């Protein structure tokens, strides 16, 4: 018998529904491993970081937190944000500390239209829709560059600046990532999104790098679209999209719009990748901690379970990733849905149905 391939996963459920959906995703991974005839297994270390940890320690994670998770094969993350901690402290203290510290510069966010889910988009009834938002995840508007002047000025009060940082290297690597991804898809097209008419420095650099990089991919169609026009296009001409590459903030907003069009934010999966594999990559649902429904057992686990599938693909288990994806589709098609997508099933019901459908 061949030796079992073991994967070390750092699980960080963090806040609110993050705890419920990560538990659901881990159940699915356990079920897959149990049925693998010893081919692979997951050794999961859970870290208690998040807003409750902050209430006890004054920190979102340990000072040496990144060191503690660094040797893992991947990080499985839930969601961050709770009312006891200002949002910018919780985001920068945990999620962004990991994304930026581990140079997870590519954030891949597929927008998938699943069978059995009613989209608010009329075209979703009869047009095949599926695109991927590739988010620049290391700089741009999230560079954390700026300051506040507490002295204030007569009549003006306090002053704050927040600068976006665009580097040629940062733009080029995310664009090449998007083009390489487009080459693996049936529609070979990359749409680049900026607001370069108004933001004439960083985003004009982005446009110029896009033009230069495109020349190396003559087989891939391209377009450059302003973010306001792209928001309209998500609604009006989504069939024309395949890979959409955008800066940190623009892609964050667009991917929420895409998930809402696909039926719910609860469905959307995401991968924060360090493509060079110098650091662990991190997999998490796009949604946040959803305090309004947290702890009730009703949140949608599909985004987190889809993120576990992206993690398996990254770990070199593409067939198992496809099994999870097919099980998600079968479960939705059978109408086993949580209430955000019009159903009455609980988080556990949907998770159990996905596990049952893994066998097919
Ligand atoms: N699971 C995703 C998550 O926790 N997101 C929290 C959030 O507020 N994210 C903002 C961002 O990533 O820009």
Look up the domain containing 175 and give its range: 119-150+158-262
Tell me how many domains the chain contains.
Answer: 2
**Residues acting as catalytic residues:** 142, 195, 228, 252, 256
Mean pLDDT within 330-341: 98
Look at residue 234 and tell me if it is in a domain.
yes
Output the domain CATH number for residue 290.
Answer: 3.40.718.10
> Is 25 part of any domain?
yes
Strand 269-273 and strand 106-112: the pairing is antiparallel
The C-alpha atoms of residue 270 and residue 276 are separated, in whole angstroms, by 18
- Is 303's C-beta closer than 6 angstroms to any atom of ligand 1? no
Mean pLDDT of 336-354: 98
214, 242, 262 — which closes off a domain? 262
352 has pLDDT over 70: yes
Residue 210 banded pLDDT, cuts 50, 70, 90: very high
Ligand 1 pocket: which of 16, 266, 288, 310 to mutate (most atoms <8 Å of CB)? Answer: 288
Regarding the beta carbon of 288 and ligand 1, being less than 6 Å apart is answered: yes
With cut-offs at 50, 70 and 90, classify the pLDDT of residue 192: very high
pLDDT at position 328, please? 98
Task: Give residue 238 CA to ligand 1 midpoint distance, Å.
Answer: 24
Domain end, chosen from 214, 245, 262, is at 262
- Using CA atoms, how far apart are residues 23 and 314, in angstroms rounded to an integer? 20
Among 315, 348, 353, 317, which residue's Cα sits nearest to residue 332?
353
- pLDDT tens digits along 262-274: 999 999 999 999 9
Q: Is the pLDDT of residue 359 over 90?
A: no
State whether 21 and 124 are in the same domain. no
Give yes or no for residue 164 having a pLDDT over 80: yes
Least confident of 127-131, 201-205, 213-217, 341-345: 127-131
| 177/43 same-domain check | no
Same domain as 254, residue 129: yes
Residues 136 and 204 in one domain: yes
Confidence of residue 2 (pLDDT cuts 50, 70, 90): confident
Over residues 124-153, the pLDDT tens digits come to 988 999 999 999 999 999 999 999 887 766
DSSP assignment letter at 4: P
Mean pLDDT computed over 248-260: 98
Ligand 1, atom 10, lies closest to the CA of 91
Compute the average pLDDT of residues 159-172.
Answer: 96
Mean pLDDT along residues 276-280: 98
Question: What's the pLDDT at 193?
Answer: 98
| Whether residue 127 sits in one domain with residue 99 | no
Residues 126 and 257 in one domain: yes
pTM: 0.96
Q: Is residue 210 part of a domain?
A: yes
In angstroms, rounded to a whole number, what is the distance separating the alpha carbons of residues 287 and 303?
8
The tens digit of pLDDT for each residue in 53-107 reads: 999 999 999 999 999 999 999 999 999 999 999 999 999 999 999 999 999 999 9
Indicate if ligand 1 lies below 6 Å from the C-beta of 271: no
Q: Is residue 177 part of a domain?
A: yes
What's the confidence (pLDDT) of residue 16?
A: 98
Average pLDDT over the chain, rounded to an integer: 96
Answer yes or no: is 357 within a domain: yes
Task: Look at residue 51 and give its three-state secondary structure.
Answer: helix
H/E stretch holding 159 reads strand 157-165
Q: Is the pLDDT of residue 44 over 70?
A: yes
Confidence at 157, pLDDT banded by 50, 70, 90: confident
Same domain, 258 and 274: no
Choosing from 18, 77, 80, 97 the residue with most ligand 1 atoms within 8 A of its CB, the one to mutate for a pocket test is 80
In this structure, the answer to whether residues 255 and 321 fall within a common structural domain is no
Ligand 1 center from residue 214 Cα (angstroms): 30
How far is residue 27's CA from residue 347's CA, in Å, rounded to a whole number?
12
pLDDT(334) > 70: yes
- pLDDT over 70 at 1, yes or no: no
Counting from 1 in the atom list of ligand 1, the atom nearest the Cα of 18 is: 1
Q: Which of 217, 241, 262 is the last residue of a domain?
A: 262
Question: Do 126 and 249 sit in the same domain of this protein?
Answer: yes
- How many whole angstroms separate alpha carbon 210 and alpha carbon 218? 13
Assess whether 241 and 212 both reside in one domain.
Answer: yes
Residue 285 Cβ < 6 Å to ligand 1: yes
Residue nearest to atom 5 of ligand 1 (CA): 288
pLDDT of 281: 98
Co-location of 91 and 22 in the same domain? yes
Q: Which atom of ligand 1 is nearest to the CA of 284?
A: 1
pLDDT of residue 152: 63
- Return the ligand 1 atom nearest residue 285 CA: 1
Ligand 1 atom having least distance to the Cα of 96: 12
100 and 141 share one domain: no
What distance in angstroms lies between residue 1's CA and the mean position of ligand 1's atoms? 43
Q: Is the dihedral of CA 94, 80, 192, 271 positive or negative?
A: positive
Residue 114 domain-assigned?
no
6 found inside a domain: yes
Residue 102 lies inside a defined structural domain of this protein: yes
């Amino acid at each position: 018998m061949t030796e079992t391939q073991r994967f070390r996963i750092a699980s960080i459920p963090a806040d609110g529904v993050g705890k419920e959906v990560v538990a659901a995703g881990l159940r699915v991974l356990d079920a897959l491993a149990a049925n693998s005839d010893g081919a692979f297994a997951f050794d999961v270390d859970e870290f208690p970081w998040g807003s409750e940890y902050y209430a006890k320690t004054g920190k979102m994670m340990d000072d040496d937190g990144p060191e503690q998770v660094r040797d893992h094969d991947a990080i499985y993350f839930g969601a961050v944000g709770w009312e006891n901690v200002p949002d910018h402290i919780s985001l920068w203290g945990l999620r962004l500390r990991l994304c930026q510290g581990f140079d997870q510069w590519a954030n891949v966010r597929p927008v998938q239209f699943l069978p059995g889910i009613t989209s608010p988009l009329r075209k979703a009834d009869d047009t095949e829709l599926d695109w991927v938002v590739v988010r620049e995840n290391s700089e741009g508007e999230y560079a954390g560059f700026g300051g506040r002047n507490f002295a204030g000025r007569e009549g003006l009060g306090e002053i704050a600046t927040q600068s976006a940082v665009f580097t040629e290297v940062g733009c080029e690597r995310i664009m090449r990532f998007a083009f390489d991804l487009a080459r693996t898809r049936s529609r070979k097209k990359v749409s680049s999104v900026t607001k370069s008419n108004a933001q004439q420095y960083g985003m004009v650099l982005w446009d110029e790098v896009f033009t230069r990089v495109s020349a190396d991919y003559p087989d891939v169609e391209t377009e450059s679209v302003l973010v306001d026009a792209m928001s309209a296009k998500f609604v009006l001409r989504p069939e024309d999209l395949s890979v959409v590459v955008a800066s940190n903030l623009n892609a964050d907003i667009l991917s929420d719009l895409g998930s809402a069009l696909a039926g719910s934010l609860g469905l959307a999966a995401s991968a924060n990748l360090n493509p060079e594999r110098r650091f662990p990559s991190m997999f998490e649902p796009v949604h946040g901690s959803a305090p309004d429904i947290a702890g009730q057992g009703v949140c949608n686990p599909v985004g987190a379970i889809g993120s576990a599938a992206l993690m398996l693909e990254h770990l070199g288990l593409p067939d198992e990733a496809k099994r999870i994806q097919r099980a998600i589709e079968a479960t939705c098609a059978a109408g086993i849905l949580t209430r955000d997508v019009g159903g009455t099933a609980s988080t556990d019901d949907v998770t159990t149905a996905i596990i049952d459908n893994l066998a097919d």
